[in-house]
Amino acid sequence: MSSAATFGKVAVLLGGKSAEREISLMSGNGVLKALRTKGVNAHPFDPAQRDLFELKREGYARCFIALHGRGGEDGTIQGALEVLGVPYTGSGVMGSAIGMDKWRTKMVWIANRLPTPRYRILGANDNWKVVARDLGLPLIVKPANEGSTLGLTKVTAVKQLPAAYELAAKKYHDIALAEQFIDGPEYTASVLGDEALPLIRIEAPKGNYDYQNKYFTDDTKYHCPSGLAPKPEAALKALALQAFRVAGCSGWGRIDLMLDSRKKPWLLEVNTVPGMTDHSLVPMAARAAGLSYPDLCLRILELAHVG
């Protein structure tokens, strides 16, 4: 692992303007503190409050992106940093843009014959009975371009579909995606460089891994080791790495997936800037692999993308 001095002046990009600003501030401040404990000359930088050109003027040599959601995770900030010539952590422009768009991620996975739940794009004039018939009930409705389970609804009856669509499409100003519900345990595979870290099995209250249960309660249980036998775990990790790569992602990230009642895996989504809070999954998986939170932050910084 590189020494702290080799990184120069580092900006931790945090906050931003997305619906996930609150979580980004939590992630970014955690990363900032960790990097400083390792001797890195790190400083907070909120693009919602400062001009990006200041990064160049103030001599920043590298950026740790801790921005979640639109504007920070969708290729926008990555493209700007490439124009400025400042190396940054995580996926490049293409991988970030694809990863943020659940619809296009699915298209890439399907084109590569990777397993992902059946879906359809919703419109205000859809026949909700037909949607339910095509995908079955229950089903999931969510925005195509929001993370952290924002705007997600588990629909158990046809009459719930209009409200679920309104939440996903109108409140979050987004394309709404309806998806086949997979009934089974949820896992997440953290990717660091060229390897997948130990899997985590997520056990949420009543199976509802929503925004509140993800970040603000202690009721959700995380199992690492996951409880899977070595061979099935290795197979899921290999699938996650393949899914990550074909989406154009690199550096670090996370793949969420589920197993159905027949133990068949289903890829849900990719996260190119996962949370780095005290509830977050990548740091948890890293600990299981013997990597402390500060060392994880240093390793991610070391893997910075140079455009």
Q: Which residues are catalytic?
A: 20, 148, 215, 254, 256, 269, 271, 275
Cα–Cα dist 231/239, whole Å: 12
Residue identified by tokens 């080791």 is 225
Task: Give the residue among 18, 253, 254, 273 at the shortest CA–CA distance from 150.
Answer: 18
* CA 215 to the chain's CA centroid: 14
| Exposed / middle / buried, residue 52 (Cβ in 10 Å: 0-12, 13-18, 19+) | middle
**Position 227, amino acid:** G
**Position 218, amino acid:** D
Task: Give the residue among 109, 113, 119 at the shortest CA–CA distance from 144.
Answer: 119
- Residue 243's contacts (CB-CB under 8 Å, 6 or more residues apart) are 109, 114, 255, 267, 270
Cα–Cα dist 283/281, whole Å: 6
Task: Give the residue among 85, 83, 97, 89 at the shortest CA–CA distance from 28.
Answer: 89
Cα–Cα dist 16/265, whole Å: 34
Task: Give the residue among 201, 203, 224 at the shortest CA–CA distance from 288.
Answer: 224
For the beta sheet containing 139-143, the strands, ordered from the edge strand earlier in sequence to the opposite edge, are 119-121, 176-180, 139-143, 153-155
Q: What pairing do the DSSP bridges indicate for beta strands 176-180 and 200-203?
A: unpaired
